[in-house]
Structure 1
Amino acid sequence: MLQKTRGLALSYLRYRETSIIARIYTEEFGLQSYIVNSVRTARSKNNKIALFQPLTLLEMVVYNKHDRDLHRLSEVKTSYPFQSLPFEVAKSTIAMFVTEMLNKVLKEEASSPQLFRFLVDSVLFLEEARTNYENFHLAFLLKLSFFLGFGPESAREFEDQLRENSYPFLPDTEMETALNTMLRQPLGTPIKLHRSARNELLDALVAYYQVHIDSVGEVKSVPVLREVLG
């Protein structure tokens, strides 16, 4: 049975000679994997494989069967062609980090329209932002943690949970203010953070996720993110 859904591309793997298996977080079915045929050929129309680059927003018609792990796509197109996110170094580096984290923490489970809406709104903010996005990845992880069930209510709770798990996080007043602002205000709210503080908070947030989700492990994009954004 054919069904329509929106999706957010996360990653893909090569499959056989010309196909891929795309991992997509969908509005209707949650996290799913789809076989996409004939996208890795010179004759593939309109560079279709580009549709499955990380964080691409998709409109899809799919064959979804509850008793299968792999599904098939009937139709797919982007709902919002990006103009900046893949092409600006800072944004593409943030997107790489966000995608790696999402691949680690999203599970094959029932759909969550609220989580899907948050992810789409966050991606659109990053695409459209011209200023005040240098802390996007930090605020994004904090807000995402609430959808995953372990969001802290305040900077103090965040700090206490890390200390209870033997992570030496000692934020100063500036960082506590930044954390509380990220927790309570929308993405893009101007926040003053020095480069060293941004790096320290990034490490603390990754550690916070590692405390709550065993599968997080090493986050390979962190060194690149630290270098590009600080």
Structure 2
Amino acid sequence: MSQVTHKTKAVVLRTVKYGETSIISTLYTELFGIQSYIVKGVRQVSKKSQGKSSYFQPGAILQLEAYHNELKNLQFIKDFQWDYLYEQVFFDVVKNAVAVYMIELLQHSLKQPEANPELFYLITDSLKQLDKGDNALAANLPLYFILHLASESGFQLHGSYSKQTPVLDLQEGQFVNEIPNHPHYISGETAAVVHKINSINFYEDLSSIPLTRYTRRPLLEGLQQYLALHIPDFGEMRSLAVLQEVLG
């Protein structure tokens, strides 16, 4: 009896070498959520395999034809091709640092294999907008992405910034009227920026939110902490320091 294959889009999260010529790649797929696949022969030194391993760089958006067995931890890919070919993300220093950071956020946040199409669209749309957008959009995109990743993970922010509620309590995930009795909060102008970014309807609007490094740095750290407070075993992010350095 022949195995059934499925066509699905996927974003590459992590790839490691396997054996002499193959790789194991962890992908976030539209149909099955997070899955690991053996991809045979892509590291062979031959005309047929040349450049094939580059498809599995973290952040790549692919179209797959793959076998799927619910009982197995490792799946097999029959065929793959680009679903979206980046013009800048793999080559531009700033955009690459943003993409690497976003992918590491996903590595730390995605714990269960089940599919979430809305989350898949958020990931792919954000990466495509990063590729097309200007540097101001790229610099602010991680903030937008964290807020919407949190929302898709089931803990969106509640309330809004105002004179009455000028503090964002990261532990409770809501805007409140006074500083809480724990250290996990953002207040004042920084909290106002969170509300502004959380309220935009179009990616392009990120370009029109001017932030200095002195505002963006604590914002990124605070919102990353928000994820860490709500996702068990979130762990330490290695790419944050690199991103902060690149963004200046």
TM-score (norm 2): 0.86
- The corresponding residue for 1:194 is 212
- The corresponding residue for 2:175 is none
Task: Tell whether the 8 Å contact from 2:168 to 2:191 is kept in structure 1 after alignment.
Answer: no
Distance 1:42 1:17, change over 3 A: same
Q: 1:3 aligns with which of 6, 9, 31?
A: 6
How far does residue 87 in structure 1 lie from its aligned partner after superposition?
Answer: 0.5
- The corresponding residue for 1:159 is 168
Task: Tell whether the 8 Å contact from 2:44 to 2:50 is kept in structure 1 after alignment.
Answer: no
- The corresponding residue for 1:141 is 146
Helix, strand or coil: the match of 2:152? Answer: helix
Q: Aligned partners of 1:97, 1:40: CA distance in 2, in Å?
A: 26
Q: 2:223 aligns with which of 205, 210, 213?
A: 205
Q: Aligned partners of 2:186, 2:234: CA distance in 1, in Å?
A: 23
- The corresponding residue for 1:49 is 53
**Which shows bigger deviation, 185-194 or 213-222?**
185-194
Task: Tell whether the 8 Å contact from 2:170 to 2:185 is kept in structure 1 after alignment.
Answer: no
Q: Aligned partners of 2:167, 2:203: CA distance in 1, in Å?
A: 19
Helix, strand or coil: the match of 2:218? Answer: helix
Letter in 2 for 1:181: K
- The corresponding residue for 2:24 is 21
What is the aligned-residue RMSD (CA, Å)? 1.8
Q: 1:109 aligns with which of 104, 113, 136?
A: 113
- The corresponding residue for 1:31 is 34
Letter in 2 for 1:17: E
- The corresponding residue for 1:89 is 93
Q: Aligned partners of 1:168, 1:145: CA distance in 2, in Å?
A: 16
How far does residue 132 in structure 1 lie from its aligned partner after superposition?
Answer: 2.7
Q: Give ranges in structure 2 of 5+ residues lacking alignment.
A: 172-178
Task: Tell whether the 8 Å contact from 2:166 to 2:191 is kept in structure 1 after alignment.
Answer: no
How far does residue 172 in structure 1 lie from its aligned partner after superposition?
Answer: 2.7
Task: Tell whether the 8 Å contact from 1:63 to 1:74 is kept in structure 2 after alignment.
Answer: yes
Task: Tell whether the 8 Å contact from 2:9 to 2:61 is kept in structure 1 after alignment.
Answer: yes
| Identity in percent | 31
Q: In the comparison of the two structures, how many residue pairs are matched?
A: 229
Task: Tell whether the 8 Å contact from 2:169 to 2:184 is kept in structure 1 after alignment.
Answer: no
Letter in 2 for 1:201: L
Letter in 2 for 1:195: R
Task: Tell whether the 8 Å contact from 1:22 to 1:34 is kept in structure 2 after alignment.
Answer: yes
Task: Tell whether the 8 Å contact from 1:6 to 1:26 is kept in structure 2 after alignment.
Answer: yes
TM-score (norm 1): 0.93
**Which shows bigger deviation, 70-79 or 214-223?**
214-223
Deviations 1:28-75 (CA, angstroms, capped at 9, x unpaired): 111100001111222252411111111111110001011101000000
- The corresponding residue for 1:68 is 72
Task: Tell whether the 8 Å contact from 1:5 to 1:26 is kept in structure 2 after alignment.
Answer: yes
Q: Give ranges in structure 1 of 5+ residues lacking alignment.
A: none
Letter in 1 for 2:35: Q
Q: Aligned partners of 1:124, 1:75: CA distance in 2, in Å?
A: 23
Which has the greater radius of gyration?
2
